[in-house]
Amino acid sequence: MRRYENVPCGRSILCGALLMLILAAPCFAGAPTEDIKQTTDRILIVVSDPALKGPENEKKREKLVRQAVDERFDWEAMTKRSLARHWQKRTDSEKKEFITLFGKLLERTYMDKVGSYSGEKVIYTDESTDGKYATVTAKILTHSNTEVEVLYRLKDLNGDWRVYDISIEGVSMVNNYRKQFNSIIVRSSYNELVKKLKEKVAEKD
């Protein structure tokens, strides 16, 4: 501490601020990106951990990944947005049931994607925050040398950024499910949709 005593206070603050700027500039280290990164890294550690390799560890691996995913993804918001105008007509128990089922399906889908992970690079390229909402853009470099653009949409839930939609190459998952749900409900019924969803979840287990 003593060595810096001769440096005027204002200048040291300026230096500090400059240093911070320089360090912060290359990486968009905002809170939403940090949260996404933290979850993704946690999953990647589980997936690439040699101690957890092999089919005998599948259950353990799945549990750890599921924990990480559950903490970051807001299943209720996803369900709400996917059912859209059909959401308000549901009873509370129907809502609860649907969130669980849909969450399971999404979890499985996500898990399958993670399961096929083999060292692809993830680069966080952009972030924008607008009040309680934020988007984080990432690029995944695949082995066949193509870049896949992934956009996370997040919402601030009591200081915690939670994902409510993922777009891959401009295809929003929530929009896609909304079209499917709407099509099924309009053509047959909500019960039919639940039946189909149950079948889908069961076939994957």
Partner 1 sequence: MGNIHRLWFILILGVMCWGAGCGQRTGWAATVDSRTDLEEEADVLERNMAGHELVRMARLNEDAATAGAENHEAPSTAGKPSQNAEEAEAWPDDGYPEETLYPDPLEPMNRAFFAFNDAAYFWFFKPVAEGYSAVMPDVMRLSIRNFFTNLSMPIRLVSSLLQGKMKSVGIILVRFMVNTSAGFLGFQDVAKQALNYPVQDEDLGQVFAFYGIGPGFYLNLPFLGASSLRDTAGWVGGLYLNPLDYILEDWVPNLSTRAFNIVNNTSLRIGEYEALKDASLDPYVAMRDAYFQYRQNQIEK
Q: How many helices (H) and strands (E) does the chain have?
A: 7, 5
Q: Does 172 bind partner 1 (CB under 8 A)?
A: yes
Q: Does 169 bind partner 1 (CB under 8 A)?
A: yes
Q: How many residues bind partner 1 (CB under 8 A)?
A: 37
Least spacing, CB of residue 184 vs partner 1, in Å? 6
Query: In this structure, are residues 162 and 43 in contact, taking their beta carbons and an 8 Å threshold?
Result: no
Q: Does 184 bind partner 1 (CB under 8 A)?
A: yes
Q: Does 141 bind partner 1 (CB under 8 A)?
A: no
Q: Which two tokens stand for residue 41?
A: 């890294």
Task: Report which residue type is found at 56.
Answer: E
String of DSSP letters for 78-126:
HHHHHHGGGTTTS-HHHHHHHHHHHHHHHHHHHHHHHHT--S-EEEEEE
Q: Which two tokens stand for residue 127?
A: 């972030």
Interface with partner 1 (CB under 8 A), residue from 44, 52, 84, 140:
84
Distance CA 194, CA 18 (A): 56
Which residue number, 44 or 201, has a Cβ lying nearer to partner 1?
Answer: 201
Least spacing, CB of residue 192 vs partner 1, in Å? 10
Q: Does 95 bind partner 1 (CB under 8 A)?
A: no
Counted residue by residue, the chain has a size of 205
Residues that bind partner 1 (CB under 8 A): 77, 80-81, 84-85, 87-89, 105, 109, 112-113, 116, 143-145, 147, 169-172, 175-176, 178-181, 183-184, 186-187, 189, 193, 196-197, 200, 204
